Chain A
Amino acid sequence: MSVNRRTFLQGTAGAIGLAMAQGALSKIVYAQDAAGTLRVAIAKPAGNLDPQSHYAIWAIQDLMFEPLVRYGKGGQIEPCLATGWEIEDGGKTLHLTLRQGVTFHDGTKFDATACKWNLERWMGLEQFSWMNCSKQFQSLEVIDDYNVAVHFKEQPLALMQELTYTRPVRFLSPKSVDADGKFKDPVGTGPWVQLSADDTQSVFEHYDGYWGDKPTYERLEAKVIPDARSRVAALRAGQIDLVGGFWIAPLTAEEGKQLESDESVNVVVDPGNVTLVMAFNPDRAEALKDQQVRKAVSIAIDRAAISKVLYHGYAKPAGNIFSGALPYAGTQYDAPARDAAAASALLEKAGWTGSPIRMKDGKPLTLELVVSPDAVPGSRVIAEVIQAELKEIGIDLVVRSVDHASKHTDMLEQKYDLGFFLTYGAPYDPFGSIVALCLSTFHNDVEGKLVTDAVNLDPLINAAMVASGDQIQPAIQKVYDWLRDNDAIAPLVYVPSIWAHSKRVQGFASPITEYDMPYENIVLAS
Chain B
Amino acid sequence: MFHFISKRLKHSLVLLFLASLVCFTLVVSAPGNVAVLIAELRGAVATPGYVDQVAEEIGLHKPLLMRYVDWLGDAVQGDFGISYRTGQAVNADLSKRILVTGMLIAGGGVIATLISLILGFLGAFWPYRLPDRASRGLALIGASTPTFFVGALMIYAFSVSFRIFPSFGFEGPESWVLPWLTVAVLPAAVLSRVVRVGLEDAMSSPFVLTAKSKGLGRTAILLREALPNITPIFINALGTQVGLMTATAIIVEPLFAWQGLGDYFLAGVRFRDFMVVQACLLLFLSFFIVVNLVVDLAVMLTDPRIRRQWS
Contacts and interface: CB of A to CB of B under 8 A. Distances in A.
A197 interface: no
Given A200-B170, A409-B36, A227 B254 contact: yes
Contacts of A233: 152, 155-156, 159-160, 167-168
A237 B256 CA distance: 13
Interface in B173-221: 173
Contacts of B267: 226
Contact of B171 (A16, A29, A55, A409): A29
Contacts of B172: 27-31
Interface of B: 30-34, 36-37, 39-48, 51, 86-87, 96, 103, 106-107, 110, 152, 155-156, 159-160, 163, 166-173, 228, 231, 254-257, 259, 263, 267, 270-272, 298, 301-304
In order of increasing CB-CB distance, the 3 nearest A-B pairs are A405-B32, A237-B159, A406-B32
Contact of A55 (B87, B298, B301, B302): B87
Given A5-B231, A408-B32, A445-B45, 17 more contacts: A5-B304, A12-B298, A20-B106, A20-B110, A23-B103, A27-B172, A28-B173, A29-B171, A53-B42, A55-B41, A200-B170, A200-B259, A234-B159, A238-B163, A407-B32, A444-B46, A445-B46
A97 to B, nearest CB: 28
A239 B163 CA distance: 10
A9 interface: yes
Nearest to A168: B44
12 contacts: A5-B302, A19-B106, A48-B87, A200-B259, A225-B257, A226-B257, A233-B168, A237-B159, A239-B166, A405-B270, A408-B40, A446-B37
Interface string A436-460: 1000000111100000000000000
Contacts of A4: 301
Given A130-B45, A233-B159, A406-B32, A31 B168 contact: no
A424 B199 CA distance: 65
B301 A408 contact: no
A163 B146 CA distance: 50
A236 B44 CA distance: 35
Contact of B36 (A236, A238, A412): A412
Nearest to B301: A8
Nearest to B164: A237
A239 B168 CA distance: 8
B52 to A, nearest CB: 13
Given A29-B171, A237-B163, A237-B166, A405 B155 contact: no
B36 A230 contact: no
Contacts of B37: 404-405, 408, 446
Interface string A376-414: 000000000000000000000000001111111110100
A31 B163 CA distance: 13
Contacts of B34: 405
A405 B31 contact: yes
Given A403-B270, A408-B37, A446 B46 contact: yes
A24 interface: yes
The interface residues of chain B, by DSSP majority, are classed as helix
Contact of B31 (A8, A29, A402): A402
A229 B301 contact: no
Contact of B168 (A8, A48, A54, A230): A230
Contacts of B45: 130, 436, 444-446
B32 to A, nearest CB: 3
Interface residues on A, range: 35 or more
B167 A227 contact: no
B255 A229 contact: yes
Given A8-B301, A409-B32, A199 B41 contact: no
B231 A223 contact: no
A167 B43 CA distance: 10
B37 to A, nearest CB: 6
A224 interface: yes
Nearest to B107: A20
Contacts of A3: 301
A236 B47 CA distance: 44
B309 to A, nearest CB: 15
Interface in A198-235: 199-200, 223-227, 229-230, 233-234
A230 B155 contact: yes
B263 A226 contact: yes
A12 B235 CA distance: 12
Given A127-B43, A444-B47, A446-B39, A404 B171 contact: no
Contacts of A404: 32, 37, 270-271
A355 B173 CA distance: 64
A374 interface: yes
Given A223-B168, A234-B167, A54 B41 contact: yes
A382 to B, nearest CB: 21
A523 B86 CA distance: 35
Interface string A188-202: 000000000001100
A227 B34 CA distance: 23
A287 to B, nearest CB: 25
Nearest to A167: B44
A199 B37 CA distance: 21
A446 B52 CA distance: 13
A224 B302 contact: no
A443 B48 contact: yes
A294 to B, nearest CB: 28
B43 A223 contact: no
Given A20-B110, A237-B159, A226 B270 contact: no
A442 to B, nearest CB: 9
A233 B163 CA distance: 11
Contacts of B48: 443
Contacts of A28: 172-173
A227 B301 contact: no
Nearest to A240: B168
Contacts of B33: 405, 408-409
A184 B42 CA distance: 17
A185 B170 CA distance: 26
B168 A225 contact: yes
B255 A230 contact: yes
Contacts of A405: 30-34, 36-37, 270-272
Nearest to B40: A446
Contacts of B46: 444-446
A481 to B, nearest CB: 27
Nearest to A7: B301
B257 A31 contact: no
B179 to A, nearest CB: 11
Nearest to A374: B270
Contacts of A30: 172
Interface string A35-67: 000000000000110000111000000000000
Nearest to A436: B45
A409 B40 CA distance: 12
Contacts of B168: 223, 225, 230, 233-234, 239
Given A130-B44, A405-B37, A31 B171 contact: yes
B169 A223 contact: yes
Contacts of A199: 96, 259
A54 B46 CA distance: 12
Interface in A238-282: 238-239
Most buried by A among B48, B159, B160, B228: B160
A239 B170 CA distance: 13
Nearest to B232: A5
Contacts of B272: 405
Given A28-B173, A130-B45, A409-B31, A230 B257 contact: yes
